Amino acid sequence: MNPVCNIAAALPQLAAQRPDQVAIRCPGRGARYDVVLDYAQLDARSDAIAAGLARRGVARGTRTVVMVRPTPEFFLLMFALFKAGAVPVLVDPGIDKRALRQCLGEAQAEAFIGIPLSMLARRLLGWATSARVRVTTGARAWLADATLAQVERDGAGAGPQLCDTHPDDVAAILFTSGSTGVPKGVVYRHRHFTAQVDMLRTAFGMQAGGIDLPTFPPFALFDPALGLTSIIPDMDPTRPAAADPAKLLSAIERFGVTQLFGSPALMRVLAEHGAALPTVRCVTSAGAPVPADVVAKMQALLPDDAQFWTPYGATECLPVAAIEGRELLTLRERTEQGAGTCVGRPVAPNEVRIIQVSDEAIEHWSDALLVRPGQVGEITVAGPSATDSYFNRDAQTRLAKIRENVASAANSSASETSPASASGPLFRHGESDAGGNSLSRSEDTDRGEGASGQCERIVHRMGDLGYFDAQGRLWFCGRKSQRVVTAAGTLCTEQVEPVFNAHPEVRRTALVGIGAPGPQRPVLCVELRAGVARGAQPRIADELRHLGEGFVHTAQVDTFLFHPRFPVDIRHNAKIGRETLAAWAAKQLRRQA
Ligand SMILES: Nc1ncnc2c1ncn2[C@@H]1O[C@H](COP(=O)(O)OP(=O)(O)OP(=O)(O)O)[C@@H](O)[C@H]1O
């Protein structure tokens, strides 16, 4: 019989091997960091909650919205839901309230577990009206059927609860950050999570016993699966750019943090604060390109043997590729000359391929889709953590997924060197699973290969533009939906903006296209560094024009608009809201006309 495929399966093992190791430490009141759960408690209490939830009908397959801050309750609850085989639904709390309601409605949740404020918002704003079980983390069962403490008491003494989930069972629905539109619910199967844990462990050398400071709460969930101790930082996780560096530093020093994850905006906060981080051995930062000056400053603050990784990936597929800071800095000049941002080599066992740019759905893979080596196209990934569908969004699923036939024999023989066979169960047409997803698992997969010797797998389209260089490194050129199509050709945001970002008085720039694609007018929105006088704008515009004339592609950009502060995404505070800026720029140009 196959072992259970579930990231919560690590908990009973860790509880047996290292019961007293702290699993999670939270700031609590007054940031005393005295709210602590060890592995024995995390395992036993999540068992009790899973059993208590089962009594209320939250069991295998129950979609459950979780709106709980990163506290011990969040971890207990999430692992209880994984153990129960239930399906947690996570949405970024800071997104626009209308979008949030839409996401929660789309998820068709059967249960809702949240802090008292979210229970109130649920009632007032009509969130997740389908939920028939409501549990609050509050002290009283206000607007809820029970408190989490009651649920835990109900399940106390029930013993181990690990459900025998299969690799293909839906494990969670995680919404994208919605930086290019309404967030989409990504269907995670248990095999995706277990693959991610393996890939993170191998790619970044994460070892049990390490001390992690995860500044993005869902990432903290990997820590217990890796046997790490999570120190939950004293900050608002929805506003990493506004984190207090002194507080982060004091936690890093006090608990001897060995690794930390944060968005590029949080990295800038630490880099500009400028205090050394002597205990930290590994830093990872993702979500958007990390500017070279931030990488350089961070490296100066870290010990010589520490690593600074910028993994590239998306909610739908993570990690895809990664590059270490030292190598990234050697490529800084190429980025400033318009080459794009290098995101490194594919993380094993991913297979990353570049296809011609198209906004249409592609049903079947064909090698004819591939671009010539070195040419920019859309980045695609086949691999064990590439998810296969969005929940209740067939149109988006079709736009982002391609079915590929692979020969099973070739597939398995290629396994040592190629990711093909490791890309998890394979798929075939026309089936539909309980989640309303259009793509589902082939029965052939149970036997490892189809009778025909052919299997199907899902290739995920990243919606990003990029190319491979001669050294096998992947370069990110920007979002496909944000490309600007002019009369002279296509401009990619990440190949244009870094050329202008090299100006010393510029904080960041954003390329937007005015008008319908082909031909659009390229406009560069410019945010200046703090303290640069308004009167300097005409001079800076001239200097930017001069910088742009240095390269064929940037020479097309001759309209510069100064914006006081760019809109950014809620999750990372780093992705520039180019759609909003495009509307703003169009208005400015109409006014000037
Ligand atoms: N290291 C990186 N360098 C550059 N860009 C990155 C990096 N890591 C992630 N990204 C960008 O972030 C995207 C994934 O972001 P995420 O999954 O948070 O949601 P989103 O795709 O922005 O949301 P939505 O699809 O709702 O707009 C990638 O497709 C890529 O554009």
**ipTM of the modeled complex:** 0.97
Closest CA to 284 of 196, 360, 383: 196
Q: Are 373 and 466 in contact (CB under 8 A)?
A: no
The number of the ligand 1 atom at minimal distance from the alpha carbon of 311 is 1
pLDDT value of position 425: 36
Residue nearest to atom 5 of ligand 1 (CA): 288
The number of the ligand 1 atom at minimal distance from the alpha carbon of 571 is 18
Q: What is the rounded CA–CA span in Å between residue 123 and residue 27? A: 30
How many whole angstroms from 187 Cα to the centroid of ligand 1?
17
pLDDT value of position 333: 96
* CA 238 centroid distance within chain: 14
Q: What is the rounded CA–CA span in Å between residue 464 and residue 470? A: 20
DSSP state of 70: S
pLDDT value of position 429: 30
The number of the ligand 1 atom at minimal distance from the alpha carbon of 179 is 27
Q: What is the rounded CA–CA span in Å between residue 18 and residue 316? A: 33
Task: Spell out where 96-153 has E strands.
Answer: 111-114, 133-136, 146-147
Residue nearest to atom 26 of ligand 1 (CA): 178
How many whole angstroms from 561 Cα to the centroid of ligand 1?
25
Residue nearest to atom 12 of ligand 1 (CA): 287
Number of C-alpha atoms within 13 angstroms, CB side, residue 492? 23
How many whole angstroms from 314 Cα to the centroid of ligand 1?
5
The number of the ligand 1 atom at minimal distance from the alpha carbon of 182 is 26
To test ligand 1's pocket by mutation, which of 176, 188, 343, 460 has the most ligand atoms within 8 angstroms of CB? Answer: 176
How many whole angstroms from 236 Cα to the centroid of ligand 1?
21
- The residue length of the chain stands at 593
Task: Spell out where 148-281 has E strands.
Answer: 170-175, 185-189, 211-214, 229-231, 259-262
How many whole angstroms from 243 Cα to the centroid of ligand 1?
21
To test ligand 1's pocket by mutation, which of 173, 177, 345 has the most ligand atoms within 8 angstroms of CB? Answer: 177
Element (DSSP H or E) covering residue 137: none
Residue nearest to atom 16 of ligand 1 (CA): 314
Q: What is the rounded CA–CA span in Å between residue 21 and residue 285? A: 26
Tokens 């206000």 correspond to: 142
Residue nearest to atom 24 of ligand 1 (CA): 178
Q: Is 93 helix (H, G, I), strand (E, B) or coil?
A: coil
**Tokens (6 digits) for 517:** 């694609």
- Cα separation of the two ends of the chain: 72
DSSP state of 228: P
To test ligand 1's pocket by mutation, which of 102, 173, 315, 580 has the most ligand atoms within 8 angstroms of CB? Answer: 315
CB contact set of 353 (below 8 Å; sequence gap of 6+): 370, 380, 382, 459
DSSP state of 527: E
To test ligand 1's pocket by mutation, which of 219, 347, 464, 578 has the most ligand atoms within 8 angstroms of CB? Answer: 464
Task: Spell out where 210-252 has E strands.
Answer: 211-214, 229-231
Task: Spell out where 408-453 has E strands.
Answer: 427-428, 440-441
The number of the ligand 1 atom at minimal distance from the alpha carbon of 184 is 26
How many whole angstroms from 266 Cα to the centroid of ligand 1?
16
What is the DSSP pairing of strand 185-189 with strand 111-114? Answer: unpaired
The number of the ligand 1 atom at minimal distance from the alpha carbon of 183 is 26
| Relative orientation angle of helices 537-548 and 493-501, to the nearest 10 degrees | 120
For the CA atoms of the chain, what is the radius of gyration?
Answer: 24
Residue nearest to atom 28 of ligand 1 (CA): 314
Q: Which residues sit with their C-beta closer than 6 Å to ligand 1?
A: 176-181, 183-184, 286-289, 310-315, 341, 343, 462-464, 476, 479, 571, 575
Residue nearest to atom 3 of ligand 1 (CA): 289
How many whole angstroms from 566 Cα to the centroid of ligand 1?
17
Q: Are 90 and 175 in contact (CB under 8 A)?
A: yes
The number of the ligand 1 atom at minimal distance from the alpha carbon of 478 is 31
Nearest 5 degrees, angle CA 236-CA 15-CA 315? Answer: 40
Residue nearest to atom 14 of ligand 1 (CA): 314
Q: Is 128 helix (H, G, I), strand (E, B) or coil?
A: coil
φ/ψ of residue 485, rounded to 5: -100, 110
How many whole angstroms from 6 Cα to the centroid of ligand 1?
26
The number of the ligand 1 atom at minimal distance from the alpha carbon of 175 is 26
- The b/e string for 402-428 (b: 16+ C-beta within 10 A; e otherwise) is bbbebbbeebeebeeebbbbbbbbbbb
φ/ψ of residue 266, rounded to 5: -70, -35
How many whole angstroms from 288 Cα to the centroid of ligand 1?
6
pTM of this prediction? 0.92
How many whole angstroms from 287 Cα to the centroid of ligand 1?
5
How does DSSP assign 485-496, residue by residue?
EETTEEE-HHHH
Residue nearest to atom 22 of ligand 1 (CA): 179
Closest CA to 418 of 483, 326, 358, 346: 346
Going residue by residue through the chain (593 aa), what tens digit of pLDDT does each one get?
Answer: 567 999 999 999 999 999 999 999 999 888 899 999 999 999 999 999 999 999 999 999 999 999 999 999 999 999 999 999 999 999 988 788 889 999 999 999 999 999 999 999 999 999 999 999 999 999 999 999 999 999 999 999 999 999 999 999 999 999 998 888 889 999 999 999 999 999 999 999 888 899 999 998 788 899 999 999 999 999 998 899 999 999 999 999 999 999 999 999 999 999 999 999 999 999 999 988 899 999 999 999 999 999 999 999 999 999 999 999 999 999 999 999 999 999 999 999 999 999 999 999 999 999 999 999 999 999 999 999 999 999 999 999 999 999 999 987 544 433 333 333 333 333 333 333 444 343 444 333 333 455 568 899 999 999 999 999 999 999 999 999 999 999 999 999 999 999 999 999 999 999 999 998 779 999 999 999 999 999 999 999 999 999 999 999 999 999 999 999 999 988 888 899 999 999 999 999 999 88
pLDDT value of position 69: 92
The number of the ligand 1 atom at minimal distance from the alpha carbon of 463 is 29
Closest CA to 71 of 134, 31, 26, 12: 26
